[in-house]
Homo-oligomer: A and B are copies of this chain.
Amino acid sequence: MIRRFVFGEMIETEAILEKPQAEGGAVPFLCVDEEAMTFSYSMEDSDRVYGLGENVRGMNKRGWIYESKCSDNPDHQEDTRALYGAHNFLVVDGKEQFGIFLDYPGILTFDVGYTRRSELKITASDWNLDLYVITGENVKDIVKQFRHLIGRSFVVPMWAFGYGQSRWSYMNEDEVREVANKHRQLGIPLDSVYLDIDYMERYKDFTLNDEAFPEFEKFNEEMKEQNIHLVPIIDAGVKQEEGYSVYEEGLEKGYFCKKEDGTPFVAAVWPGKALFPDMLNKEARDWFGDQYKFLLDQGVEGFWNDMNEPAIFYTEDRLNQVMEQLGEYKGKNLDLNLFWEFKGLVNGLSNNVDDYTKFYHNMNGKKIRHDRVHNLFGYNMTRAAGEAFERLEPDKRILMFSRSSYIGMHRYGGIWMGDNKSWWSHILMNLRMLPSLNMCGFLYTGADLGGFGSDTTEDLVLRWLALGIFTPLMRNHAALGTRVQEAYQFEDVDGFRHIIGLRYKLLPYLYSEYMKAVLRDEMMFRPLAFDYPEDARAVRVEDQLLLGDGLMIAPVYEQNAEGRYVYLPERMKLVRFKKDGSCEEEILEAGDHYVDVALTDVVVFVRPDHLIPLSKGGQCVADVDFEDLQYLSFVENEAVYEYYHDDGYEKDYENPAHMCVIRMEKDGKVCRE
């Protein structure tokens, strides 16, 4: 059951399109303090709290304080309070079971037992919000109801399930060609190469660097002939430059965010001074969305939207101010306090929350200050694109994922997990974020495999890929100035070929589970706690996941480890895929196991009476035969699998012809219905 409670008058987010009738009366479970603008709940020691989408720490979010404040934050550390998204949905699981969603576009804090271990306290910045309280049969049911409420998740074209290679940046055609060729020559599968900011002319959206990509359309075609898709980045800020048509047209039409006095709000990003299209203004959004046509027309079929928290290097006004102030420190003895002040001025230029109060949106004719709707910006940039794709290419699926997001955006695109680092602990962060994102509707997601910031190592990339082969978005991406980390840069090419190749074998299962999760409002990745709620050990497991109907995964995330502990809540079949192409199987009893996992092994666990359809693999998604299936199976009585398959490009998702049932008897006999 979903109940809606209205406090004040919320600014419409369109997270929820069909709202249940608002209720009066007391809010269940929560203690409401209008004056303090808080909701609180007293937790028992055994209560667990799931959700909050893109955040650090555990699947169980207890013990930290999180902020919903979309942030351009490359420091994904244990003490990070906010990342790029604002995902205000959580489920309390324990003595009571309920979900809550705060539909609120401003900044919120979720103190989940940080200040006091037993208290959950949610604090809003103002008292205009809708609160949804959801109860159900169990946690999965609560999540499913919520997912239904927020609408169906975005679907990508099938090729977007292939392996993608990215770097900030492949600087020109030849560098992209090299990536494509190297993979093809070495037999390492590949489906996409990502173009980071340098493909543009001086970081101007919807332009091309003509020296680096003199014949982009032709080059794109050349790549497509090899079944490789180019995926360019689009930034939120539009360069302020006379003669640049996007800038001039947007300015003329009044489509950029403005300061209080009505003049354009100028903030710098990659190109220096830039203006932000007013993504919250429908007309401006339509106009911005139409700009993608420039690249669609050259055959591009996928995009990633970046810097849309929005990230701000500095605002014109603050920089001018700081430049003046810096002079005042000249000749002074800068002691601790003065020196910190001085450094603080410079380091406070970027992503300064105070700047959110310096510009305004035009929402349906109303002038709204940015801080009140901060968390909607990235969402609406991606919505601009998504709505435009529907207009411009109605019959085509276009890949789209974003850095910033709010619930509701999941209908228009996926997200990647942002600018992580080449840290072993980030494998685990990647894993833990998958179910919490799924809870909030984000199914097409993944982390920068190998790590974006800082230098990686061969073993880290291998181990991370062994998780990445399971995530819908499977992309290796690295930052400017870091060690190169394409698979072919390392010595154990066989190992990379084997692990990445396995992704393509898994595709029938992964795509089927993804589509069923989309169509049924379910989670593709689940904590063990969601399927085994009665198992006191299972509910505490923070480093294993259920993947779809029949698999459990437990990747290795410790350097130099030769294996790891795995907890089995029930009898399962361990399947080990080895580099030499062989496959070992072993049935393990419920309980604790230490499992050997060599550096190039991939280990999965099949649940009893389940089967997993596999293909024979391929060098790209187009190569993969989704009909000629093999099966991983653990049949004690009978395994029944609902197999979804479509052509991967059309949009008739609900066509019953896409679904069939595969049955396996104990003797291994398979039949399809």
Interface residues of A (CB under 8 A from B): 48, 57-58, 60, 62-64, 77-79, 113-114, 116-117, 202-203, 268, 270-273, 313-314, 319, 323, 326-327, 329-330, 333-336, 338-339, 342-343, 346-347, 349, 421-425, 454-455, 457-460, 491, 537, 540, 542, 558-562, 565, 567, 592-594
Contacts and interface: CB of A to CB of B under 8 A. Distances in A.
Given A116-B491, A117-B459, A314 B339 contact: yes
Nearest to A543: B558
Contacts of A63: 457, 459-460, 559-560
9 residue pairs, one from A and one from B, having the closest CB atoms: A272-B335, A79-B454, A272-B333, A78-B423, A346-B346, A565-B565, A63-B559, A270-B336, A323-B330
A336 B421 contact: no
A376 to B, nearest CB: 26
A645 to B, nearest CB: 39
Given A116-B491, A339-B314, A78 B323 contact: no
Given A58-B560, A592-B592, A77 B540 contact: no
Contact of A421 (B57, B78, B334, B562): B78
A425 B559 CA distance: 14
A343 B346 CA distance: 7
* Identical copies in the complex: 2
A5 B455 CA distance: 34
Contacts of A57: 559
Contacts of A313: 334, 336, 339
B79 A421 contact: yes
A79 B423 contact: yes
Nearest to A269: B336
Contact of A334 (B272, B460, B567): B272
B594 A537 contact: yes
Contacts of A113: 457
A314 B62 CA distance: 41
B423 A77 contact: yes
A326 B12 CA distance: 44
A637 to B, nearest CB: 30
A334 B346 contact: no
A461 to B, nearest CB: 11
Contacts of A454: 77-79
Contacts of A268: 333-335, 339
Nearest to A339: B313
Given A79-B422, A114-B455, A323-B326, 16 more contacts: A48-B560, A63-B560, A64-B559, A77-B421, A77-B423, A116-B491, A202-B335, A268-B333, A272-B333, A342-B346, A343-B346, A346-B346, A347-B347, A565-B565, A565-B592, A592-B593
A537 B64 CA distance: 34
A521 to B, nearest CB: 28
Nearest to A239: B335
A190 B491 CA distance: 54
Contacts of A78: 421-425, 454
Given A346-B346, A421-B78, A272 B339 contact: yes
A338 B272 contact: yes
Contacts of A542: 558, 560-561
A203 B319 contact: no
A194 to B, nearest CB: 18
A334 B269 CA distance: 9
B334 A314 contact: yes
